[in-house]
Structure 1
């Protein structure tokens, strides 16, 4: 492939299907099922207190800077601008990126430091995406970071050093793991073509091969949960790998083909093993609602309503999950306001940040994270350890509640918007004689509630001082 045609292809892959592959809100009418194990419930409440985490997609796709994995899928929604290269040749090129992936600048301490300064409290790191390239030293395939040009680096077992760096910042640790594996001969068997994201052979006619895949998956998750220290979250992606009986309107909305046989991997057995290895570990079998989806994970968007059940919006800082050249990163103001809305509606925000092929965050990414952290240093009390309430919003004002029933009213401000003399709302009125203060500021504010409307008066000095803030947080009882 010439440099020119490669460039055209990479641009097409980024813009024509990068967002389509990921932009799913996972709508569902199926009720959430709370875990029953006390240790899992305790871990779940701990996770709900954290509110803000980082999702790190990193793999061979960072070398050319394209969307992770999806370009080797052959479903008809994928468009490649370069029509001269066969699908077989493209897959060979993509899988061969392992021989170019040599991140000599790999710096997990930089990542963890940036995340901590942003006010993030947990990490989810991609141990393996759908393309099957392993970012840990698995013993069950040689398609891994420790078998390429990076193998002699002292931090070649990447997942270990990522988890260690974030543990050193006292963060909860999450391991992303893709259930489908498009490199494995037990999932995409070379004997047949690979027409879509599903297993490419009839499991009913080839039970041995599928059983081998189930054992492969079990063994890899066993490795992750025994060899890499304490793991708090097992974040399983690839929701089309599931029992056929669980296919619902949500799955059908993806528009992907549905085989007329099960693609189940025996989640009860995997969960039992994982929780034997890691007591109380949260299991997030994304979109497969039931006992192994301990919290919901709407993607690239926010649900319209509040939910008292645990959930997490996973949203990218830029336009892509992994590194792509010239990505456009969201302003810190936008991320802060997303966080406010998500927390007020009862969720956590998992922000996607992709390192470069060399293994570092870009200066622009670090700058955005630092700006977010500066706001949370002052206003985090209204975010962390809070819970949603029924009347979570009135007009532009969002509300959260602390564990001692203290209330927080949060007013987002757009760039250039002037802060007025008053902030008002008609729900969640302060109790008689309550004190209202702006987080980070001394003194209390004048307020009154008349005819159901609470009006808080801001002195001119505060109006001017806070006019550039992404959001103002008021605390009251």
Structure 2
């Protein structure tokens, strides 16, 4: 009995060892071949260890604020986010709207939405000029979304905006506008997840006259004869010739738990990974973006493919070659491990960490839905300029940048309410921008009621709006011998800064003023606080900036 147990234990241990070895050997189910797009040689190799040589460029740390055009065919219906997935969800609001305006998804699928998108009023130069005047220090355009349509003359994707929909090279238009106005140009790439994102297009109704009739997600090229899309293969768009992920048939939200390609996600084929790799490399080689954003955990298709690692190494190496061997590129990823945060810039979606971060990072958020929503416009649901500015101040105090999406209509225009919000942001920036740009975090990001509340991030972010800011909340940042203390509102009484009392901060204060005002400000530093007399003149109702000048450099990070 003992010998048998011992033998079984040894056999089990050997099996575990073999399984571990095989797992290590099969870390990537798909290795891209580089048969068509080669990774540029240089300092960076396609490994996490090599990518840790990355250092965030100073220009990005100084920039603080960018504006994004997260714009594509899903904006055409004006029905908000993830239209291309949710229009196939029987009984859902977007499904019902789609049937009323396009027809049943077994006959008129997302490809018909693409056909309907014309971008007839798009004026990229006018829009980017406005964003620069508002204060944006960089501009982002969306190169593709989970809907898998490339928005440039893509060499590897026939479903692109020059051949269908608007029949325009959207990215070239944005790139030219950014260059004209001297803004660093960013591109966001989201298409790695089309494989699972479009799985709803494999469904069919479970009741009613169309019960059991498949939606258009499984259509093939041969079925296009005589249609407007003749010659195009729907599988190059939908990518649905594969089994469904676990739970995909039952739940529209199952994808949320499978973003990391685990928990039952259908694993992409080698062909799919190779195509994504080639498309993204082509995009980088054509436009040479200053910033590159992936809507992925870590890098795209990791860990099922090495595509993302090779793209990252190529991006860094080509950028260095274009900048006299100095790396000026900014690459973003979500839900990063501490080690991955050394390889790229951490992006937090619709959220903010509750502490200063050692490495530069970015919040991406939107004044409404990511894709244009008529309901948000009609219901006055946009973030106000006050909300945006207060978020920006809080983010900058924690060593971050803000990337703000302004939803664009399907026709390529932005609406009157968005323009009014942007004008209000511009008015605040005109007076207070020195407290934002080129600054660095102080030793403590802030004080006040909101600073005492724990507000953790959930997965990729999603904690914005959970804490209310008031004039009692102060945020700090610095520039040389100047410390900016910003009240997130209009002070109703004298401002007491506990962190600047002599016991905690004995640096000699030379002068205090309010940005946007010539009023002489009275103040007194006590052992436990610095008390600033309430100004008689308040230059704005969003956030009041106190400019504190020291005899020596402010103590901070």
Same fold (TM over 0.5): yes
1:233 aligns with 2:291: yes
Residues 157-191 of structure 1: per-residue CA shift (max 9 Å, x gap) = 11011122122222221110012234755983325
Query: CA separation in 1, counterparts of 2:141 and 2:519?
Result: 43
Q: Which one is further off, 372-381 or 91-100?
A: 91-100
Residue 270 of structure 1 is matched in structure 2 by 311
1:378 aligns with 2:441: no
CA contact (8 A) 1:102 1:148 kept: no
Shift of 1:91: 9.1
CA contact (8 A) 2:84 2:147 kept: no
Query: CA separation in 2, counterparts of 1:57 and 1:349?
Result: 15
Q: Spell out the pairing of 1:22-421 with structure 2 (5 A cutoff).
A: 36-37=52-53, 40-41=54-55, 43=57, 45-69=58-82, 71-72=84-85, 79-80=92-93, 89=105, 92-151=108-167, 156-178=168-190, 179-182=192-195, 185=236, 188-193=239-244, 195=248, 197=255, 210-228=269-287, 230-239=288-297, 262-279=303-320, 280=327, 281-289=329-337, 290-291=339-340, 294-318=344-368, 320-327=369-376, 328-395=381-448, 396-413=472-489, 419-421=491-493
Residues 421 and 193 (structure 1 numbering): CA distance in 2 closer, same or farther, change over 3 Å?
A: closer
Unaligned runs of 5+ in 1: 1-31, 245-261
Residues 355 and 82 (structure 1 numbering): CA distance in 2 closer, same or farther, change over 3 Å?
A: closer
Query: CA separation in 1, counterparts of 2:434 and 2:51?
Result: 28
CA contact (8 A) 2:134 2:422 kept: yes
Residues 430 and 160 (structure 1 numbering): CA distance in 2 closer, same or farther, change over 3 Å?
A: farther
SS of the equivalent of 2:177 reads helix
Shift of 1:453: 1.0
SS of the equivalent of 1:160 reads helix
Shift of 1:400: 3.0
Normalised by the length of structure 1, the TM-score is: 0.76
Shift of 1:451: 2.5
Residues 245-285 of structure 1: per-residue CA shift (max 9 Å, x gap) = xxxxxxxxxxxxxxxxx533432211222223322322213
Unaligned runs of 5+ in 2: 1-47, 199-234, 249-253, 321-326, 449-471, 551-557
1:432 aligns with 2:490: no
Greater Rg, structure 1 or structure 2? 2
Residues 362 and 459 (structure 1 numbering): CA distance in 2 closer, same or farther, change over 3 Å?
A: closer
Residue 5 of structure 1 is matched in structure 2 by none
Size of the aligned set, in residue pairs, is 407
What RMSD over aligned residues (CA atoms) do the two structures have, in Å?
Answer: 3.4
SS of the equivalent of 1:336 reads helix
Query: CA separation in 2, counterparts of 1:148 and 1:121?
Result: 32
Query: CA separation in 2, counterparts of 1:409 and 1:61?
Result: 41
Normalised by the length of structure 2, the TM-score is: 0.66
SS of the equivalent of 2:349 reads coil
Shift of 1:59: 1.0
CA contact (8 A) 2:446 2:473 kept: yes
